[in-house]
Amino acid sequence: MQWLVGGKLMGAGHDHGSAGHQGHSHGAGASTRRLAIALGLTTTFLIAELVGAFVFDSLALLSDAAHMFTDSAALAIALAAVKIGQRPPDDQRTFGYRRFEILAAAFNAILLFAVAGYILIEGIGRFFAPQPVESVGMLIVATLGLLVNLIAMRILAGGKDDSLNIKGAYLEVWADMLGSLGVIGAAIAIYFTGLNWIDPIVAIAIGLWVLPRTWILLRDTTNILLQGVPRGFDLIAIRTAMAEMQGVNGVHDLHLWSVAGDDASLTAHVAIGGVEDAEAVRLAVTVMLKAQFAIHHVTIQTEAVPCTDETPMHR
């Protein structure tokens, strides 16, 4: 499509694959099943672990229970996010509701930071004032928790590379699995040595181990919320490849972003040499972006004369 604006012949085109929405619907259904099963497992065990933490007076077990609680909350939020994300676009949300999954993943990361901070503070306090711990009870509860976490991790593993929302839930369960292993080790060590300060040491170690992974998740979700260039894409290489296409005299107003982490959208203004080649150039650039960079949601505006209001931000 071309039109005349301010004496310039303009052209714009938009291309995207219809299979993308179908693929997302199928993936969302699989994610829903995974999350629902994992949520049922963790919620069922949560009550038993909380009771065990207070009965046996174990901070390490309480740390594990806290992570199990955040697991349940994270899985519930992730499940709700997937369901909301399946809603089609409307006049108010033209991109649909998939961005809600990223908000859920960011919330899960913040929740993990809060829990880890609490455990670190409480652990330091108990290190200087150790509390008596019933190691046998710790061992039994933590072993059952480990089994639940391993099953939940197995269920979520299939979708963690396709959705940051699922990845966030997977990291929650993964962190809790490490917590269960730490509690098991602490229970065995306390049983044979009687050193109760091992309990807060393990709790602190769990918190420190989880924090870097949580930071990565928060970094990725923040980048998407700020509409940054998706990870794995080189904007300089994309701009160079577009500029080197036959018939292209320049590229500006280039923007690349993601809605939900597993997609990429690109818009750009392309200055061309000949008006009669506008549509052919646009199609060639679109095909190249799909084939070379796997960018399937592309909007290109062709210009016989470059925009005169170009600013450094838009270049």
Please write the tens of the pLDDT for every residue from 261-311.
778 999 999 998 765 578 888 999 999 999 999 998 999 998 887 665 554
> How many structural domains is the chain composed of?
2
- For residue 260, count CB atoms less than 10 angstroms from its CB and return exposed for 0-12, middle for 13-18, buried for 19 or more: buried
Q: For residue 273, what is the domain's CATH number? A: 3.30.70.1350
Name the domain boundary from 162, 194, 225.
Answer: 225
Nearest one of 99, 119, 231 to 175, comparing CA atoms: 119
Torsion angle of the four alpha carbons 251, 20, 86, 157, in this order, in degrees rounded to the nearest 10 = -100
For the segment 84-98, what is each residue's pLDDT rounded down to a tens digit?
777 888 888 877 787
Instruction: Kindly state the average pLDDT of the residues 218-226.
Output: 89
**170 and 213 belong to one structural domain:** yes
Rounded to an integer, what distance in angstroms lies between the CA atom of residue 138 and that of residue 102? 36
**129 and 193 belong to one structural domain:** yes
Share of the chain above pLDDT 70, in %: 80
Domain that residue 171 falls in: 26-225
Q: With 90 as the cut, is the pLDDT of residue 236 above it? A: yes
Which of 107-116, 157-166, 257-266, 285-294 is modeled with the greatest confidence?
Answer: 285-294
Sorted by sequence, the CB contacts under 8 Å of residue 213 that are 6+ apart come out as 171, 174, 175
**191 and 302 belong to one structural domain:** no
Name the domain boundary from 177, 193, 225.
Answer: 225
Sorted by sequence, the CB contacts under 8 Å of residue 30 that are 6+ apart come out as 158, 159
**63 and 156 belong to one structural domain:** yes
Q: For residue 104, what is the domain's CATH number? A: 1.20.1510.10
Structural domain contains residue 285: yes
Q: With 70 as the cut, is the pLDDT of residue 67 above it? A: no
Structure confidence at residue 251 (pLDDT): 92
Name the domain boundary from 167, 192, 225.
Answer: 225
Structure confidence at residue 55 (pLDDT): 78
Structural domain contains residue 279: yes
Structural domain contains residue 15: no
The mean predicted confidence, pLDDT, of the chain is 77
**238 and 203 belong to one structural domain:** no
How many residues are given for the chain?
A: 315
Q: With 70 as the cut, is the pLDDT of residue 145 above it? A: yes
Q: What is the pTM of this model?
A: 0.66
Structure confidence at residue 289 (pLDDT): 95
Least confident of 159-173, 184-198, 220-234: 159-173
Structural domain contains residue 42: yes
**39 and 69 belong to one structural domain:** yes
Structure confidence at residue 267 (pLDDT): 94
